[in-house]
């Protein structure tokens, strides 16, 4: 009796530009109209190959973006809200994109565009959830209010890590960090009343020492949103989306009809 041999289809992968924003992308083995845009914390090294491949195997096109003015992307960091970088990618994916490696052009029939972001990138996910280009957003331990400092990583330490630890990987516009600390720029709390709670899922671990919970409680009340509070998990990164408990909540949220 001849045994059938199951062959694993190869995932597509490449890089593409959306304006000044460089993204790595991975495509599922089978045709799909589901798109995920991954937003990293900051500072962080842009390496999400394993996470992106795992999500692609679940049937998603995955775009891992570099914020404008960071890493391979062009422009100046924090000249524009990182949420606007998300919008740039979401719009570009719908219009079609080119793999810079081989010149292949892809045009997707996008049925659902999802943002997944953590910490600094969680703020992008929260804000981007108000955009019509975005169907759903998942924010893991997002920064909600830049004026409320973390005890373990105060704002000054955050800036020190960026400037001294990452050098030219982040190339900020003049007074970028003062603008951020003002609470009037890239500030999810300001738009709480405009949130559509059906489009947004926020998860936060109670033992997170980096991002305080108090601003999220204020935000949730104003946005009429019920965050998911996990007892353990520490400070989530974008890769935490695949943690068993986190993915259980994410999968249920993503399965809901719009």
Q: What is the pLDDT of residues 130-186, one digit of tens each?
A: 999 999 999 999 999 999 988 888 999 999 999 999 999 999 999 999 999 999 999
In a domain, 2, yes or no: no
Does pLDDT of 107 surpass 90? yes
Q: SS3 letters for the chain?
A: CCCCCCCCCCCEEEEEEECCEEEEEEECCCCCCEEEEEECCCCCCCCCHHHHHHHHHCCCEEEEECCCCECCCCCCECCCCHHHHHHHHHHHHHHCEECCCCCCEECCCCCEEEEEEECHHHHHHHHHCCCCCCCEEEEECCCCCCCCCCCCCCHHHHHHHHHHHHHHHECECCCHHHHHHCCCCCCHHHHHHHCCHHHEEEEEECCCCCCCCHHHHHHHHHHCCCCEEECCCCCCCHHHHHCHHHHHHHHHHHHCCC
In a domain, 184, yes or no: yes
In a domain, 3, yes or no: no
Range of the domain at 84: 12-253
In a domain, 185, yes or no: yes
The pLDDT assigned to 9 comes to 54
The pLDDT assigned to 21 comes to 98
In a domain, 157, yes or no: yes
Number of structural domains the chain divides into: 1
Q: What average pLDDT does the segment 176-200 reach?
A: 94
In a domain, 189, yes or no: yes
Does pLDDT of 92 surpass 80? yes
The pLDDT assigned to 8 comes to 47
Q: What average pLDDT does the segment 9-20 reach?
A: 90
Q: What average pLDDT does the segment 183-196 reach?
A: 94
The pLDDT assigned to 84 comes to 98
Q: What average pLDDT does the segment 112-124 reach?
A: 98
Does pLDDT of 7 surpass 50? no
Q: What is the CATH number of the domain that holds 22?
A: 3.40.50.1820
Question: Model confidence over 46-63: pLDDT tens digits?
Answer: 999 999 999 999 999 999
Q: What is the pTM of this model?
A: 0.94
Compare 118 and 12 and report the one with higher pLDDT: 118
In a domain, 119, yes or no: yes
Does pLDDT of 2 surpass 80? no
């Amino acid at each position: 009796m001849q045994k059938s041999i199951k062959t694993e289809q190869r995932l597509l992968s490449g890089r593409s530009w959306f304006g000044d924003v460089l993204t790595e992308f991975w495509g599922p083995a089978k045709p799909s109209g589901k798109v995920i845009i991954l937003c990293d914390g900051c500072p962080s090294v842009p390496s999400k190959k394993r996470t992106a491949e795992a999500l692609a195997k679940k049937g998603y096109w995955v775009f891992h973006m570099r914020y404008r003015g960071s890493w391979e992307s062009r422009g100046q960091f924090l000249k524009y809200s990182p949420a606007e970088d998300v919008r740039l990618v979401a719009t570009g994916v719908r219009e079609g994109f080119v793999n810079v490696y081989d010149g292949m052009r892809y045009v997707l029939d996008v049925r659902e565009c999802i943002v997944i972001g953590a910490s600094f990138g969680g703020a992008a996910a929260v804000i981007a959830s108000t955009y019509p280009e975005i169907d759903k957003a998942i924010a893991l331990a997002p920064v909600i209010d830049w004026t409320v400092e973390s005890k373990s990583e105060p704002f000054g330490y955050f800036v020190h890590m960026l400037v001294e630890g990452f050098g030219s990987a982040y190339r900020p516009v003049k007074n970028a960090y003062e603008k951020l600390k003002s609470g009037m720029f890239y500030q999810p709390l300001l738009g709480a009343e405009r949130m559509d709670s059906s489009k947004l899922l926020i998860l936060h671990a109670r033992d997170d020492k980096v991002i305080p919970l108090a601003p999220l409680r204020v935000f949730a009340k104003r946005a009429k949103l019920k965050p998911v509070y996990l007892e353990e998990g520490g400070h989530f990164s974008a890769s935490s989306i695949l943690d068993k408990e986190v993915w259980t909540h994410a999968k249920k949220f993503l399965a809901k009809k719009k």
